[in-house]
């Protein structure tokens, strides 16, 4: 990595906004193509892996999925799951395997189209210009909490999953976790293992078994080509879908919320609000549990068909049987029975720095086809389902980065042809 000190008036053929694995992957290809560029990172390279995950976080995809351009995972546990700190160190080392020109500690506040072509980029280090600009900031920017969070008594500590690191940061006593996606369910397990009294409010998130018929389910899915299926064949609405919950902790295992209930965790349906001194939850718990299990079983059905079609010799495994059934109806918890809340209902994107660029759809989502937008010279990289299911994870970053870097290279080398 080569540190860059931006100066007002600097001009680059390409500006890449975001110094995570996606931005660095594009930079690798641009270095090889000889494209003059800079990666602008508001904090430090890969800092989200260090600062935005809890202490016991692990990847949920096997380590062998981790591959960046010219940099496959080369550790001693390809079927294991790197911890937060291991992922951070791995991405940081990647930045030092080539001369990535990175300006750390610089934020971008606005990008505007420049008269005659190219862009004006407003940064905390001054205004610079560029022939092309690529967003590598991902799509998870602002932690979400519901409007009714303001009505909760101030003595109940509230943190977002992005701010949660360990059980010790929360006051003693019962914890309510709202949201059952990957973060919510894994944090719920983290607190349960610490002996905390945990309440979990479930949404309609799917789950997947960790292992089935002798292998990791995600290894089966990779062999089946599931992560390579283009989003165009599934519908663009897939870009807003929720990931399946599972964990890589302690070598990997299922997250079975029914089993968590048997171990003392209290499950609820979707959280609907706080009124009359109590948290309210709807009657969706049985349906939400059934849905999550049905998705996990449907994935096993797909694996079974693949094994049979390919003639693979794999052990036969009994199917999942629910170990607990919830009661019907809505539930409530008195405010005095909860000491802290972990909100795990996701993030919203903040694209305000894109100004008036015509790169968002009518709902404010990035409008692109495999990163390319209607604005010549502006691209996205690192978004969920950007092109395939693998786009939002390490599995397909290298492929997406090669494609987007090709768009950039064509734009700066053959601008007339691109126009």
pLDDT in tens, the chain (419 residues): 999 999 999 999 999 999 999 999 999 999 999 999 999 999 999 999 999 999 999 999 999 999 999 999 999 999 999 999 999 999 999 999 999 999 999 999 999 999 989 999 999 999 999 999 999 998 888 999 999 999 999 999 999 999 999 999 999 999 999 999 999 999 999 999 999 999 999 999 999 999 999 999 999 999 999 999 888 776 555 455 678 999 999 999 999 999 999 999 999 999 999 999 999 999 999 999 999 999 999 999 999 999 999 999 999 999 999 999 999 999 999 999 999 999 999 998 999 999 999 999 999 999 999 999 999 999 999 998 899 988 888 989 999 999 999 999 999 987 644 44
d(CA 257, CA 406): 44
Looking up tokens 């096993």 gives 300
Fill in the DSSP letter of residue 336: G
pLDDT attached to residue 418: 47
Neighbours of 309 (CB within 10 A): 9
d(CA 80, CA 417): 46
**Fold (CATH) for 2-141+349-418:** FAD/NAD(P)-binding domain (3.50.50)
| DSSP character string of 183-247 | HHHHHHHHHHHTT--EEEE--S--B--SEETTEEHHHHHHHTTGGGSBGGGT-GGGGGPPPPB-B
Q: How many residues does the chain have?
A: 419
Helix, strand, coil shares of the chain, percent, nearest 5, are 35, 25, 40
Domain boundaries, the chain: 2-141+349-418, 143-343
């Amino acid at each position: 990595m080569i540190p860059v000190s931006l100066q007002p008036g600097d001009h680059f053929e390409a500006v890449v906004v975001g110094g995570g694995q996606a931005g660095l992957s594009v930079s690798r290809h641009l270095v090889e193509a000889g494209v003059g560029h800079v990666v602008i990172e508001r904090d430090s390279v890969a800092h989200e892996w260090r600062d935005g995950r809890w202490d016991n976080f692990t990847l949920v995809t096997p380590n062998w999925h981790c591959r960046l351009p010219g940099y496959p995972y080369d550790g001693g546990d390809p079927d294991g799951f790197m911890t937060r700190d291991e992922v951070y160190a791995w991405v940081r080392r990647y930045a030092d395997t080539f001369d990535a020109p990175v300006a750390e500690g610089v934020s971008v506040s606005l990008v505007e189209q420049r008269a005659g072509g190219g862009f004006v980029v407003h940064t905390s280090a001054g205004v610079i210009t560029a022939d092309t600009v690529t967003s590598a900031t991902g799509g998870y920017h602002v932690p979400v909490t519901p409007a009714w969070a303001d009505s909760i008594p101030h003595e109940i500590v509230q943190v977002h999953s992005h701010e949660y690191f360990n059980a010790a940061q929360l006051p003693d006593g019962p914890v309510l976790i709202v949201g059952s996606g990957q973060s919510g369910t894994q944090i719920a397990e983290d607190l349960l293992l610490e002996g905390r009294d945990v309440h979990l409010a479930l949404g309609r998130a799917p789950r997947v078994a960790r292992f089935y018929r002798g292998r990791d389910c995600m290894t089966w899915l990779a062999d089946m080509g599931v992560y390579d299926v283009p989003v165009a064949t599934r519908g663009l609405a897939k870009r807003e879908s929720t990931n399946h919950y599972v964990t890589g902790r302690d070598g990997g295992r299922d997250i079975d919320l029914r089993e968590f209930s048997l171990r003392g965790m209290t499950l609820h349906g979707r959280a609907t609000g706080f009124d009359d001194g109590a948290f309210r939850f709807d009657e969706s718990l049985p349906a939400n549990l059934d849905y999550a299990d049905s998705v996990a079983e449907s994935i096993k059905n797909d694996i079974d068909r693949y094994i049979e079609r390919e003639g693979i010799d794999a052990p036969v495994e009994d199917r999942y049987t629910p170990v607990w059934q919830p009661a019907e109806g809505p539930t409530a918890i008195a405010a005095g029975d909860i000491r802290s809340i972990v909100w795990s209902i996701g993030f919203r994107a903040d694209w305000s720095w894109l100004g008036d660029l015509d790169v968002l759809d009518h709902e404010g989502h990035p409008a692109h086809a495999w990163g390319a937008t209607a604005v010549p010279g502006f691209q996205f990289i690192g978004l969920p389902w950007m092109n395939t299911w693998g786009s939002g994870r390490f599995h397909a970053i290298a492929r997406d980065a090669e494609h987007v870097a090709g768009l950039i290279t064509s734009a700066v080398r053959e601008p007339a042809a691109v126009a």
